[in-house]
Amino acid sequence: MQNPVGYEVIDGRATLTSFSALLTNPQTTLEFTHVITGSFLTGGFAVAGISAFQILKKREVDFFKPALRLGLLVALIGAMGNFVAGDQQMLEVKNTQPMKFSATEGVYETTEDPAAWDMIAFFNEADHKSVFGVRIPYVLSILTYHRPSGSVEGMNQINKELEAKYGDHLNYYPPVTVLFYTFRIMAGLSMYFMLISALGLFWTRRKKPWMYEKPGMMRLYGWSMFLPFLAITSGWLVTELGRYPWTVYGLFTIKDSVSPNVSVGSLLFSNIVYFLLFCVLGTIMIILTRRIMRDSAHKAETAYVDLDPFSSHNLGKDKHSKSEEKEEEALK
């Protein structure tokens, strides 16, 4: 849907003609890697965050200290892999979805060479121009080409190319402000994850593990376990909103995707149900997480003992009950 390949349109229907092209699509492989490494990052911070809260409350400290380090190690590996995959993915986006790329950087007009990077910016989306920006020289060229030179094509120029290719009946500009800031949230948190993971491993090394005795640091790492969810949400907003106005990029528009057989009321009802469902699932997740954090770290090892008929506990209980029956028969 982001970069369709290996297909042929036959009688108005897209037909897959090359499964290998689908599997080797650069956008797919890079996005898959980006998602998987993000999962490692999220899991690592979940372990590290829960461990940090338990250490803060002086619960089974000897168990949670190595658990914290393990979580940070997995998070660091995931963060570095995620950063590399994300960087390569954006280079691919520049080639396949140039409008999305320029929107994430807030570039309306083609930049000079070298290109400056806007750290903060405000836009007039109606007039398709940047109103204000805090710019850092060379950075956009470095991020785009990995060298301190090169210009970036602006959205206004790209829009003219798209109008010539697909027609001027569509608005090809995506929601620039949302893309600009969600991309910076995602990229900024990615740098944050790598930094605090590396520092956490350094500060908890055996010779000088001073971080364990700092309540402020434990709270920092504890609350940081929620930030990967913000980063992931920001990333998906960039991915999905950035392809506007396409459902399938270059082939099928969002307008054409609306079924004439589905009413507005049905769509509203479905969205309300999905929203409530996710709220319920989120509440359950929070309740279960709090319950797990209150329990002993070793409780899971014996949680299902009574339910397992072949556990040593139950087998021993069976032997004990049989011996009691024999004693009762002997007394009779």
Q: pLDDT per position in the chain (332 positions), as tens?
A: 788 888 888 887 888 888 888 888 888 889 999 999 999 999 999 999 999 999 998 888 888 899 999 999 999 999 999 999 999 999 999 999 999 999 999 999 999 989 999 999 999 999 999 999 899 999 999 999 999 999 999 999 999 999 999 988 889 999 999 999 999 999 999 999 999 999 999 988 877 778 888 899 999 999 999 999 999 999 999 999 999 898 888 888 888 888 888 888 998 999 999 999 999 998 998 888 788 777 766 665 555 555 556 555 555 555 555 555 555 666 65
Distance of CA 272 to CAs 30, 230, 237, 277, Å? 33, 22, 19, 8
Q: Is 125 a member of any domain?
A: no
Of 258, 283, 314, at which residue does a domain stop?
Answer: 258
Structural domain of 76: 7-105+172-258
CA distance 261 to 57: 56
Boundary of a domain, candidates 229, 258, 287? 258
3-class secondary structure, 290: helix
CA 260 to chain centre: 33
- Which class for 97: exposed (0-12), middle (13-18), buried (19 or more C-beta within 10 A)? buried
Number of domains into which the chain is organized: 2
Q: Does 208 share its domain with 93?
A: yes
Domain presence at residue 285? no
Return the closest-CA partner of residue 170 out of 90, 256, 297. Answer: 256
Tell me if 89 is assigned to some domain: yes
Q: Are residues 91 and 189 in the same domain?
A: yes
Where b means 16+ CB within 10 Å and e means fewer, 38-56 reads: bebbbbbbbbbbbbbbbbb
Last residue of some domain: 205, 231, 258? 258
Whether 317 and 245 map to the same domain: the answer is no
Same domain, yes or no, for 244 and 320? no
Tokens of 62: 């000897």
